[in-house]
């Protein structure tokens, strides 16, 4: 496949529309199934954990998070911060896990020079699933109709362009970049190139190509104990 710059507008629209690439269901149905899977998983989590819902971390209506604690929260335990996807619009010892646009946000956390803010987050690991790490192609597809990003904004917020060789957290943080077999070629290219860029910048990083899953069930299956990505995340946490 050639560079994204050589693609027509129609080709880019297709590449950055993950629902068109699922072999399981048609585009509308796979999104509906994904939303239902997330609702069901959330409900299961709320019935099996001690849940603190809609905790504000800012002043905006969308600046809230849900906290799920063990049923018996005594003792110490790792924290996994999950950032959902939805092209930054839909679905509204520390470890990061992000899916799709959520993987972009998690990658931006890794790219931030936290010394400027007077803090040193102890991020032990990050799992980036089917993410977008270079936003410039997004300028040319339907997603930007709502985002209205300029080229300067896209470049400033592209993890691929924010890496340096002197990231203090690089040595301590283990990064897993995961992609689905049925992600579009552009999504797969972005994962592969971002993984290589992290490695070149001195990060401890590995690439996981997950067979038999698309852009949506690649993350839905985390509720299954036997799913390889579930096992990889648990192993990453247990090694800390």
Tens digits of per-residue pLDDT, 93-125? Answer: 888 999 999 999 999 998 888 878 887 778 889
Residues forming a β-bridge with 174: 125, 204
Per-residue pLDDT band for 9 (boundaries 50, 70, 90) equals confident
C-alpha 62/C-alpha 59 separation (Å) is 8
Per-residue pLDDT band for 171 (boundaries 50, 70, 90) equals low
78-82, 153-157, 158-162, range with the lowest pLDDT: 78-82
pTM score, two decimals?
0.78
Would you tell me how many other CB atoms lie within 10 Å of the CB of residue 47?
Answer: 8
Residues forming a β-bridge with 98: 83, 128
Instruction: Pick the catalytic residue from 34, 99, 104, 215.
Output: 215
pLDDT of residue 92: 42
Provide the mean pLDDT of the chain: 87
215 is annotated as an active-site residue: yes
183 is annotated as an active-site residue: yes
Per-residue pLDDT band for 170 (boundaries 50, 70, 90) equals low
Ramachandran bin of 213, using left for φ above 0, alpha for ψ from -120 to 50, beta for the remaining angles: beta
pLDDT of residue 166: 44
Instruction: Pick the catalytic residue from 130, 158, 183, 184.
Output: 183
For 42-69, write each residue's pLDDT tens digit. Answer: 888 888 888 888 888 888 887 888 888 8
Per-residue pLDDT band for 72 (boundaries 50, 70, 90) equals confident
Per-residue pLDDT band for 136 (boundaries 50, 70, 90) equals very high
Domain total of the chain: 1
Placement of tokens 């709320």 in the chain? 46
26 is annotated as an active-site residue: no
pLDDT of residue 86: 65
pLDDT of residue 69: 85
Residue 9: give the domain boundaries.
4-238
pLDDT of residue 169: 54
Q: What is the CATH number of the domain that holds 231?
A: 3.40.50.1820
Nearest to 126 by CA among 194, 224, 50: 194
Q: Is the pLDDT of residue 91 over 50?
A: no
- For the stretch 156-163, contacts whose Cβ atoms lie closer than 8 Å and that sit 24 or more positions apart, written own/partner, are 157/108, 158/133, 158/134, 159/104, 159/107, 159/108, 159/110, 159/111, 159/133, 159/134, 159/194, 160/133, 160/134, 160/190, 160/193, 160/194, 160/197, 161/134, 162/108, 162/111, 163/111, 163/197, 163/198, 163/201
């Amino acid at each position: 496949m050639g560079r994204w710059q050589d693609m027509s507008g129609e080709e880019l629209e297709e590449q950055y529309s993950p629902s068109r690439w699922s072999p399981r269901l048609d585009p509308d149905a796979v999104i509906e199934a994904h939303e239902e899977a997330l609702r069901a998983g959330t409900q299961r989590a709320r019935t099996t954990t001690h849940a603190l819902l809609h905790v504000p971390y800012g002043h905006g209506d969308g600046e809230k998070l849900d906290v799920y604690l063990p049923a018996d929260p005594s003792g110490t335990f790792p924290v996994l911060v999950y950032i959902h996807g939805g092209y930054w619009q839909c679905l509204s010892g520390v470890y990061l896990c992000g899916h799709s646009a959520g993987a972009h946000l998690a990658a931006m956390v890794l790219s931030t020079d936290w010394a400027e803010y007077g803090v040193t987050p102890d991020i032990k690991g990050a799992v980036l699933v089917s993410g977008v790490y270079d936003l410039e192609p997004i300028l040319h597809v339907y997603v930007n109709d709502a985002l209205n990003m300029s080229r300067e904004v896209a470049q400033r917020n592209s993890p691929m362009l924010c890496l340096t060789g002197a990231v203090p957290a690089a040595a301590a943080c283990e990064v897993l970049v995961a992609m689905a077999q049925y992600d579009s070629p552009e999504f797969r290219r972005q994962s592969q190139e971002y993984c290589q860029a992290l490695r070149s910048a001195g990060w401890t990083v590995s690439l996981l190509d997950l067979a038999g899953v698309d852009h949506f069930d690649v993350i839905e299956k985390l509720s299954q104990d036997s799913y390889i990505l579930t096992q990889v995340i648990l192993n990453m946490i247990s090694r800390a």
